[in-house]
């Protein structure tokens, strides 16, 4: 069994079985990353293009390394230094890349839905690396991989997603993914940063952090997206940190061995205190490593790879 679509556009569109396949395939991929020689010939002759219209450290670099570890030819295009800056459209840019032989185009774009548009116009596989406030499926996959690796399962776990849910593509992909995998998802933040009717996605919404964190297995702390904020959604960054920031006192409401996740980049001292970010319950650095494994799995599966055991 492989993935049903040529693309990975979001976790809303894929099944629980497909999520399990990606997570299972990432397990042997992680073994490759941990080897002394991190290179296998699996994607030799395949071309992977990172097309990024927004800044990124983790996602862009991990896709590039994922491709390189699998022996694909990987290229990075930043919109700011390409012909996009001269007015070329997304569709024309992608077509240009495709006719040069790209097998996979990885797109990060500020407009929600842009990877879906692209996927309809190119034969290459399109992977959504974050589209506006819509979805960031590979981040949610690496979050789920990390939780499953540490706690052994996703089914039945209580997961709190804390912070700026309104602007967060990470939150939306985690909600789709975790609820499909049988986790109980709580979202918590200021009422101005919770989308209206968010409960319709199968989650419980809270505005008091202590109440939301009571007895949870996992806390996924979201970045305050200062670049996407409109005025007046919360009074000041200091006020936000005081009422909604995850600190050692609030962490005590969760289970004693609860995991702390953050997709990065962190605003230290705002949504998360430095002692919690660097504390023993934090798995933030492991998330980054797992991001490479999950992206290797996806590149493998979308370019024709089959069962997880074949990837070894």
Q: What is the distance between the alpha carbons of residues 43 and 187, in angstroms, rounded to a whole number?
A: 39
For ligand CP, the binding residue among 50, 56, 114, 273 (CB under 6 A) is 56
Are the C-beta atoms of residues 45 and 20 closer than 8 Å to each other?
Answer: no
Q: What's the CA angle centered on 264, arms 263 and 268, to 5 degrees?
A: 125
Q: What is the distance between the alpha carbons of residues 173 and 175, in angstroms, rounded to a whole number?
A: 5
Question: What's the min distance (Å) between Cβ of 284 and ligand CP?
Answer: 10
Q: Which two tokens stand for residue 220?
A: 């996924």
Q: Tell me: does residue 59 bind ligand CP (CB under 6 A).
A: yes
Question: What's the min distance (Å) between Cβ of 309 and ligand CP?
Answer: 29
- DSSP strand E in 172-282: where? 184-188, 204-206, 218-221, 259-261
For ligand CP, the binding residue among 12, 16, 58, 228 (CB under 6 A) is 58
Pairing of strands 125-131, 218-221: unpaired
For ligand CP, the binding residue among 42, 133, 139, 290 (CB under 6 A) is 139
Question: What's the min distance (Å) between Cβ of 191 and ligand CP?
Answer: 25
For ligand CP, the binding residue among 113, 132, 264, 269 (CB under 6 A) is 264
Closest to 258 in 3D by CA, of 151, 174, 182: 151
Closest to ligand CP by CB, 165 or 205? 165
- Interface region with ligand CP, contact rule CB under 6 A, candidates 84-92, 99-107, 262-270, 297-305: 262-270
Size of the chain in residues: 312
Q: What is the distance between the alpha carbons of residues 58 and 231, in angstroms, rounded to a whole number?
A: 28
Question: What's the min distance (Å) between Cβ of 232 and ligand CP?
Answer: 25
Question: What's the min distance (Å) between Cβ of 291 and ligand CP?
Answer: 8
Question: What's the min distance (Å) between Cβ of 56 and ligand CP?
Answer: 3
For ligand CP, the binding residue among 28, 137, 263, 305 (CB under 6 A) is 263
Q: What is the distance between the alpha carbons of residues 142 and 30, in angstroms, rounded to a whole number?
A: 12
Closest to ligand CP by CB, 59 or 93? 59
Q: Tell me: does residue 57 bind ligand CP (CB under 6 A).
A: yes
Helices (H) and strands (E) in the chain, counts: 11, 9
Closest to ligand CP by CB, 23 or 261? 261
**Which positions lie near ligand CP, rule CB under 6 A?**
56-59, 130, 139, 263-265
């Amino acid at each position: 069994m492989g993935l049903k679509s040529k693309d990975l556009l979001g976790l809303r569109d894929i099944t629980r079985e497909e999520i399990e396949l990606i997570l299972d395939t990432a397990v042997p991929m992680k073994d490759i990353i941990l080897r002394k020689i991190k290179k296998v010939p699996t994607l030799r002759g395949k071309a992977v293009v990172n097309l990024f219209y927004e800044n990124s450290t983790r996602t862009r670099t991990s896709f590039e390394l994922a491709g390189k570890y699998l022996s694909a030819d990987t290229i990075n295009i930043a919109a700011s230094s390409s012909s996009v800056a001269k007015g070329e459209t997304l569709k024309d840019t992608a077509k240009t890349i495709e006719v040069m032989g790209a097998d996979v185009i990885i797109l990060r774009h500020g407009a929600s839905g842009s990877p879906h548009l692209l996927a309809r116009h190119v034969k290459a596989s399109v992977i959504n690396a974050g589209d506006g406030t819509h979805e960031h499926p590979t981040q949610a996959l690496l979050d789920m991989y990390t939780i499953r690796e540490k706690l052994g399962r996703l089914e039945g776990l209580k997961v709190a997603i804390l912070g700026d849910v309104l602007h967060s593509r990470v939150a939306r992909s985690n909600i789709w993914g975790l609820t499909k995998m049988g986790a109980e998802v709580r979202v918590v933040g200021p009422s101005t940063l919770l989308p209206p009717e968010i409960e319709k996605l199968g989650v419980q919404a809270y505005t008091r952090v202590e109440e939301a964190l009571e007895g949870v297995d996992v806390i996924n702390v979201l970045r305050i997206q200062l670049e996407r904020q409109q005025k007046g959604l919360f009074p000041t960054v200091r006020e936000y940190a005081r009422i909604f920031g995850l600190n050692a006192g609030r962490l005590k409401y969760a289970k004693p061995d609860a995991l702390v996740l953050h997709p990065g980049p962190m605003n230290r001292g705002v949504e998360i205190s430095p002692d919690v970010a660097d504390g023993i319950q934090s798995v933030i650095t492991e998330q980054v490593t797992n991001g490479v494994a999950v992206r290797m799995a996806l590149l493998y599966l979308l370019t024709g790879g089959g069962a997880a055991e074949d990837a070894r």
